[in-house]
Amino acid sequence: MASLEQYHAKRDFKKTAEPAGKVVRNRKGEAGGIFVVHKHAATRLHYDLRLEHGGVLWSWAITRGPSLDPHEKRFAVHVEDHPIDYASFEGTIPKGEYGGGSVIVWDEGKWQPETDPAHAMKKGHISFELHGHKLNGLWHLVRLKPRPGKTRDNWLLIKSDDAAARPGEDILQEAPESVKSGLTIEEVGEGKTADGKKPRVWHSSKRSTSKAKAKAAKQLEFIEPCLATLQRDAPPGKEWLHEVKFDGYRMQAQLAGTKVRLLTRTGLDWTGKFGGAIVAELGRLKCTDAIIDGEIVVLADSGVSSFALLQADLSAGRTDRFLYYVFDLIRLDGQDLRKEPLVERKQALQDLLGKQPDNSGSPLQRPFCRTGQGHAGARLPHGVGRHRLQARRRALSQRPRLVLGEVEMHAAPGVRHRRLPAVGEDRARIALLAGRLP
């Protein structure tokens, strides 16, 4: 039977704004429910995964935070159950109190267990799906064998290798902000709030000001990009467009009047992270409003996009090497283009950008694109280096279809075009993806 006895014993609710809460015994619904991941700057920064079950939140402290990489196994300590009310808590726990430090709601959503959660907990292996802003797909919590003389209940959190997996990517760095307030853990620690006030202890259940709401109402609606899933074979036929898939940050550019925003694939505003050049170039486009899909990258000396260099530049505050490769136009001058064929959207995007010579020096770039069949039709222009290709149907509108593919290949130095070798040859490695067009 669920209990909050340990939770209450560790806290003085006269000093902390954390909710006292109670077990919600009449909470209805199927197995699963809400989940939340708190980012917690206590003595050591960590993340707390909380899953609703039995009227409480089962809780695990994840020392290094969750990872979308299936090869990463993250250590997680099973801690005391928390009240359901804790899911919305965001603020600062006073120093000297249990867990003293700042807390933000890093992610939230729904979770669905694969089997009976109580039985899975007892067995020591919980398989479940997450449907959040940042975390999605199938996950596993696996209990470790206890060490002699130790009482801690240690587990591993592991991402399943599915459509939502992102090997090599760091979601913690890509999306550090709260999904409720948009604030970072540092800003909450400084006493900042969404409405600019600085109470001694703040949490996000307070409503924003009417001025902030009015400002938000003028912004374009964020359109969640569709992601890819692994497929076995390259797509055949001339109905496919093949374009370079760069290693960078997927970014949605929103233009509304004189306002330009750059949003991550989870909808977080990263406009200020990339300097002024990209924003200025987007601001020169002649339209009343637009939503553009693309990828921000940093190129190595070889001409190949480098995710490591991109992360290093973001960490160092360097902004002079960012390029924005744009590949789709989702909205233009008040019209939703998602139902239009891909080739027509690309033509509209080209018309919007205007004529621009190759290597023009502009931070806005159009990626290489060619019609053809899987490995037989894919060619890489000089200077593209070693990249992957993604394939999308020419006539596809933005409806759920299996459309994306990636091919990783070499382009030899000094050779203007190099045909992709046959699938079985050593110099080609095929990793095909399927998903819905963004």
Give the residue numbers annotated as catalytic, written as ranges: 245
Element (H, E) at 45: strand 45-53
Please tell me the number of Cα atoms within 13 Å of 418 on its side-chain side: 18
**Among the listed residues 194, 222, 58, 211, the one whose alpha carbon sits nearest the alpha carbon of residue 126:** 58
CA separation for the pair 49, 6 (Å, rounded) = 17
With a CB cutoff of 8 Å and minimum separation 6, the contacts of 363 are: 277, 278, 281, 322, 323, 324
Q: For the chain, give me the number of helices (H) and strands (E)?
A: 9, 24
Angle ∠(223,228,229) on CA atoms, nearest 5: 145
**Among the listed residues 63, 55, 61, the one whose alpha carbon sits nearest the alpha carbon of residue 84:** 55
Angle ∠(165,241,429) on CA atoms, nearest 5: 50
Contact at 8 Å (CB) between 92 and 18?
no
Residue 427 burial (10 A CB sphere; 0-12, 13-18, 19+): exposed
**Among the listed residues 91, 428, 372, 101, the one whose alpha carbon sits nearest the alpha carbon of residue 240:** 372
Q: Which residue intervals of 91-148 are DSSP H helices?
A: 117-123
Element (H, E) at 322: none
CA separation for the pair 393, 400 (Å, rounded) = 12
364-365 and 323-332: which strand pairing? parallel
Q: How many residues does the chain have?
A: 438
CA separation for the pair 284, 327 (Å, rounded) = 18
CA separation for the pair 40, 8 (Å, rounded) = 19
